[in-house]
Amino acid sequence: GVAYGGYNSPKLTYSKPVKMWQGSNKISILSSAMGLPNQGTHYEAWNVGVLGPVTLSGLNQGKRDLSNQKWTYQIGLKGESLGVNSISGSSPVEWGSASGAQPLTWHKAYFAAPAGSAPVALDMGSMGKGQIWVNGNNAGRYWSYRASGSCGACSYAGTFSEAKCQTNCGDISQRWYHVPRSWLKPSGNLLVVLEEFGGDLSGVTLMTRTT
């Protein structure tokens, strides 16, 4: 499962059934920091990530603190080390059936280049958050963040907050991602997507722009 936190709620609680068995169980936590502090006093000393303690609730003996268990640390994802985003790295990997709703999943597909010379873009509006590669080239990081709140009158007077002067409430922050034609072949182009949240793969489309 997935849990979210932030500056105002840094402590996370994941409350869903977990399959465990008698004896030794392995717990893996993937932490993704959304940016780093860049203001305030001594922000260079602020920490991000799993800072602990990590506790497990719902056991027969009640809550158990796992902070003193043997923890190991690894940077990055397995798919990165295998290079599944590249043409050569994606071939030897065994790929399963597509399931866009699954978080932290690599997806791949092949497509033919659109006819003509018009600019090409990928519509990622149906997906959540992740990165895109076309024929091994990084086409960018996407995050279909939707603004919420009031899009009423705008005034920057007073203390700033992220809720001030919002526009396009309900729309995603960015939908289209440019794919240079110099990256494309007539057919057999490899699209690799690393989806972190889970999304709708059926909504990913390739578009051209005409004036």
Report the CATH number at residue 128: 2.60.120.260
- Final residue in a domain of this structure, among 23, 45, 73: 73
- If asked whether residues 172 and 155 sit together in one domain, one would say yes
Cα 145 to Cα 128: distance, rounded to the nearest angstrom: 8
- If asked whether residues 97 and 51 sit together in one domain, one would say no
- If asked whether residues 46 and 136 sit together in one domain, one would say no
- If asked whether residues 99 and 129 sit together in one domain, one would say yes
Long-range contacts (CB closer than 8 Å, 24 or more residues apart) made by 63-70: 66/27
Number of domains forming the structure of the chain: 2
- DSSP-assigned letter for residue 95: P
pLDDT band at 19 (very low <50, low <70, confident <90, very high): confident
Query: What's the token pair of residue 85?
Result: 């985003």
Cα 162 to Cα 156: distance, rounded to the nearest angstrom: 11
Query: pLDDT value at position 164?
Result: 73
> Strand, coil or helix: what is 43?
helix
> Is pLDDT above 90 for 141?
yes
- If asked whether residues 106 and 68 sit together in one domain, one would say no
Mean pLDDT, range 169-185, rounded to an integer: 90
- If asked whether residues 16 and 44 sit together in one domain, one would say yes
- If asked whether residues 145 and 84 sit together in one domain, one would say yes
- If asked whether residues 1 and 89 sit together in one domain, one would say no
Q: Is the peptide bond before 92 cis (omega within 30 degrees of 0)?
A: no
> Is pLDDT above 70 for 137?
yes
- If asked whether residues 62 and 122 sit together in one domain, one would say no
pLDDT band at 147 (very low <50, low <70, confident <90, very high): low
Range of lowest pLDDT (53-57, 77-81, 90-94, 154-158) = 154-158
Distances (CA, A) of 206 to 58, 98, 112, 123: 47, 18, 10, 6
- If asked whether residues 86 and 179 sit together in one domain, one would say yes
Specify the pTM.
0.77
- Final residue in a domain of this structure, among 73, 97, 127: 73
- If asked whether residues 28 and 127 sit together in one domain, one would say no
- Final residue in a domain of this structure, among 46, 73, 100: 73
> Is pLDDT above 70 for 148?
no
The distance from CA 88 to its chain's CA centroid, rounded to whole angstroms, is 24
Which residues are within 8 A (CB) of 109 and not within 5 positions of it... i.e. 6 or more apart? 190, 191
What b-and-e string marks burial along 65-93, b requiring 16 or more CB atoms within 10 Å of the CB?
Answer: eeeeeeeeeeeeeebeeeebbeeebbeee
- If asked whether residues 103 and 197 sit together in one domain, one would say yes
Percent of the chain with pLDDT over 90: 38
| Structural domain containing residue 20 | 1-73
